[in-house]
Chain A
Amino acid sequence: MAELPDTREKLTPDTFLRGLWEENPVFVMLLGMCPVLAVTSTTMNALAMGLATTFVLVCSSMLVSLLRNWIPKQVRIASYIVIIATFVTIVDYGIQAISLELYAALGAFIQLIVANCVILGRAEAYASKQRLTTTFVNSLGMGAGFTLALLALGTVREILGNGTILGISLFPADFQPWIVMILPPGGFFVLGAWLLLFNWLRLRKERKQTEQIGVTAHAR
Chain B
Amino acid sequence: MTADTQQQTPTETRVPSTPAWAMLRTLGGIALISGLLVALVYQFTLPIIAENQRVLTEKAVFHVLPEASVKHDFVITDKGGLAPVGSGAEGEVVYGGYDAQGHLVGLAITGVAVGYAGPIRVLFAYDPDCRCLTGSKVLSSNETPGFGDKLDFDPVFLKNFEELDARLDAEGKALANPIVTVKHGTKSRPWEIDGISGATISSKAMGRAANAAAQHAVPAIERDLAWLKQQH
| Interface positions of A (Cβ within 8 A of B) | 41, 63, 67, 70-72, 74-75, 78-79, 82-83, 85-87, 89-90, 93-94, 96-97, 99-101, 104, 161-162, 177, 179, 182-183
Contact = CB atoms under 8 A, between A and B. Distances in A.
B34 interface: yes
A179 B198 CA distance: 14
B156 interface: no
A97 B144 contact: no
A82 B34 CA distance: 7
15 contacts: A70-B26, A70-B29, A71-B26, A74-B3, A74-B18, A74-B19, A74-B23, A93-B49, A97-B45, A99-B52, A100-B53, A101-B56, A162-B145, A182-B145, A183-B144
A90 B36 CA distance: 11
Nearest to A94: B45
A41 B146 CA distance: 13
A105 B222 CA distance: 37
Contacts of B147: 179
Contacts of A96: 45, 49, 52
Interface string B12-53: 000000110011001101110110011001100100110011
Contacts of B144: 179, 183
B2 interface: yes
Nearest to A81: B30
Contact of A182 (B18, B27, B146): B146
Contact of A161 (B3, B30, B45, B145): B145
B150 to A, nearest CB: 12
B15 to A, nearest CB: 13
B231 interface: no
A71 to B, nearest CB: 5
B41 A90 contact: yes
Contacts, number: 71
- Choose among B26, B33, B147 the residue with the greatest number of A CB atoms under 10 Å from its CB: B26
A89 B42 CA distance: 9
B140 interface: yes
Contacts of B52: 96-97, 99-100
Given A93-B49, A182-B145, 8 more contacts: A67-B26, A72-B22, A72-B26, A86-B33, A89-B38, A89-B41, A100-B56, A179-B144
A67 B41 CA distance: 22
A179 B3 contact: no
A109 B33 CA distance: 24
B38 A86 contact: yes
A162 B146 CA distance: 8
A94 B49 CA distance: 9
Nearest to B55: A100
Contacts of A93: 41-42, 45, 49
Interface in B121-154: 140, 144-147
A75 B41 contact: no
Interface in B184-213: none
Contact of B146 (A99, A104, A177): A177
A41 B142 CA distance: 13
A99 B30 CA distance: 30
A18 B27 CA distance: 32
B34 A75 contact: no
A213 B201 CA distance: 63
Contacts of B37: 86-87, 90
Given A74-B3, A75-B23, A97-B48, A86 B146 contact: no
Nearest to A100: B52
A71 B22 CA distance: 8
Contacts of A83: 30, 34
A90 B26 CA distance: 21
A94 B29 CA distance: 24
Contacts of A82: 27, 30-31, 34
Interface in B141-171: 144-147
